[in-house]
Each structure stands twice: as C-alpha cells, then as structure tokens.
Amino acid sequence: MAYLSLREINKIYPNGFHAVHDFNLDIEQGEFICLVGPSGCGKSTTLRMIAGLENISKGDFLIDGVRANEMGPREREIAMVFQSYALYPHMSVYDNLAFGLSLQGVDEDIIDEKVNNIARILGLTDYLDRKPRALSGGQRQRVAVGRAIIRKVGIFLMDEPLSNLDAKQRVTMRSEITDIHRKVGSTTIYVTHDQTEAMTMADRIVVMKEGYIQQVGTPYELYFNPVNMFVAGFIGEPPMNFIRTNVHDGKITVLGKDIELSHIISDENVSAHEGKPVALGFRPEGIVLGEQENFYVFEATVDLTELLGDNTNVYVSDGDTNLILKVDPHDTPKMDTKIVFSVPYANAYLFDGESEMVIEKK
C-alpha cells in the first residue's frame, strides 16, 4: 500500500475557479516527488491540500491508508519550507533551529543534541551563533530547511524553496537537498516551475498543465518517452523542436525535404494519419552534424550561434521553420552558412497535430 494516496483530488476555489482536476497519485514512503509546470497550473494548490492548508473540494487523501481530508496540518506530521523562508531575525541560527522544539517543551539536552546534529548535516555548525542577516542566501535557506526537518516528520513539503537564491547557490542547494533527503529519508513533495530542478532531484516527476496531470514518471521516462507535446516541450533545455505539417503519401515535408514516416512509426499508424496534421519533434541535442546513412538528413541556414562553453546553441531556419541545434563548441558553424545535420530515427518523435499526443514509436 502506498504511503500517500491522492485519489481523484479536485480543488474548486470559493469563486468557482477549478484549479485542480482529478489528481491521482500514489507516493511510496521515502520517495522524492517533484510537481512541475508553468505558473498557475495548480502545483501550490495541490501541495497546500496535502499540507492541510487548503481544503479538498472532492476526492480522497490518505496517509498510510487512513483518510486524512479532515485532519489538521499538525496531525498530518508534515513540515514545510516555502519560497519566503521567514527566519526569526532577532534569533541566532541555534535558536531558529531550536524554536519549534522549545515550543513543544522538549528537554533542553535533547534540543541541544538535535540542533547540533542538524547543523552538522547542513554544514551550519560554525554559524550557530550568528543572526540570519549575517548569513548568505544559501545559508539562510539551509537554516529554513533545518528548522523544518529538525522535528522528525513523515512528510516534507517544499514550495519553490530555491527561488530566492542566485543561480550558483541554486545548484549547490539542489544537491544539498537531495543529500539531506537521502540522510533523513522523509517522503518529500517539492514544487517547482524549473524542469532542471525536477530532473536533477526527483525520483518521479508529476508534470501539470492547467490543473491537469499530463504525465507522471521518472526523469528518464519523461525525457525519453513524453506522452504529449506539452511534456516533450517542458522537459529539456532548450526545448524540443517541433515542426507542424501534414502527412502526404506516408511522408512529411521538413525543411523542404520529404521524409518517410515508416522509419519511426508503424505502417498502420502511417496510414491512420494520412492527410492529417502531425508534428515532428526532435531535441536540440538529438542530432549529429553532417550526413549519416539511415538517419533523417536535413539542410538549413545558420541564423545565430550562442557559445555556452560546454556546447553551442545553433539557431537554424529555412525561412519558414526555425530550429535549435546543440553542437560541440569546436563544431560551431559560421553564421549565414548552410549546414547539413542528421537526426537518428530513435531521436525523432511524431505527435498527432490535433490531440498533440505522441504517436507510438515502432
């Protein structure tokens, strides 16, 4: 039996806005789940229903098999870290960490042991006497995380906890949070709009759009087997290239060239989509420069190149279609020249142009 079960969960706000639709998810004990999606897709609403800060309009929420819809936040044994991780400014790091336990009347010796232990895990031992204003953003964030995990809780909820940090601190905190999760082992649900955060931290990712779950899967599954164009475009940076066109005689025309669809989808699926709109998708990094046998081969003009150090983003077009290719920086092509590139059949995806669902690969 799953540790947390969300069954047909819906949220309809008092003004009638339906923010979350039929959300179904089983979460195992100790799992790290990321909820991702663009602003307004219902991530925070879902998290707040799990926390007990927002009532569930319809559906069942179970903790360890017990219906928890009506349980208060305290009863749920949950700790939360929010985007604005307000620390008590007049208290030292030690007192910020100890505060929750003091309120509960925990013995001073036990508090001292726990604070020192958490400080060690989080690398805060040298800062215990400092006030929050004398800490860096990343250190403050660690105090906020420490304050949440110092009480032994079963469920740890985080809502965009890294959004106040600069890019470098975010990368560091990402690995620190996964490390803490490994040490503490609490079931964690983490909300972010940043797909890189989700990809690097989660055991499983839930991709949401306009209140609906689009797909649930491991980072690997979402990257290699996206169910629709939304997920394919959301996971991966720069996003997957899409070329919308119609099927004619089992082929599509891409960058002025006719390509056979039977290389990537079954003959039945090719026939089923004859004359219909489809979208070809491939990732910027899913190409090789030059012509390769048994690959789709295209030619396009280089509009712009961006050298990023470990790779170069090459923006190409043929006047109609604009694409991004990721290439080795040593292979950066010159602007305004024509380049040939090849897409392995395994790296090409075909989507139904109307439903935007992936067409099953061969």
Residue 32 Cβ vs ligand ATP, minimum distance, rounded to whole Å:
18
Shortest approach of ligand ATP to residue 319 CB, angstroms?
37
Q: Which is nearer to ligand ATP, 55 or 175 (CB)?
A: 55
Give the single-character DSSP code of 125. Answer: G
Q: What share of the chain is helix, strand, coil (3-state, %, to 5)?
A: 30, 35, 35
Summarize as ranges the residues that interact with ligand ATP (CB under 6 A): 13, 15, 17, 19, 37, 39-45, 193
Q: In angstroms, give the least distance from the CB of 44 to ligand ATP.
A: 3
Among 42, 44, 27, 146, which Cα is nearest to 97's?
146
B/e letters for 224-245, b = 16+ CB within 10 Å, e = fewer, are eebbbbbbbebbbeeebbbbeb
Closer to ligand ATP by Cβ: residue 50 or 270: 50
φ, ψ for residue 286 (rounded to 5)? -90, 30
- 13 vs 88, which CB is nearer to ligand ATP? 13
Give the closest residue to 44 by CA, choosing from 217, 189, 178: 189
Query: Cβ closer to ligand ATP: 42 or 219?
Result: 42
Q: Toward ligand ATP, which CB reaches closer, 56 or 264?
A: 56
Backbone angles phi, psi at 176, to 5 degrees: -65, -40
CB of 38 to ligand ATP, least distance (A): 7
Residue 353 Cβ vs ligand ATP, minimum distance, rounded to whole Å: 27
**Nearer Cβ to ligand ATP, position 202 or 302?**
202
Alpha carbon distance, N-terminus to C-terminus of the chain: 35
Between the alpha carbon of residue 266 and those of residues 269, 279, 361, the distances in Å are 5, 16, 7
Any idea how long the chain is?
362
Q: Is the distance from CB of 27 to CB of 190 less than 8 angstroms?
A: no
**Least distance in Å: CB of 198 to ligand ATP?**
13
CB contact at 8 A, 80 and 34: no
Minimum separation from the CB atom of position 55 to ligand ATP (A): 11
Task: Please say which residue, 114 or 209, places its beta carbon nearer to ligand ATP.
Answer: 209
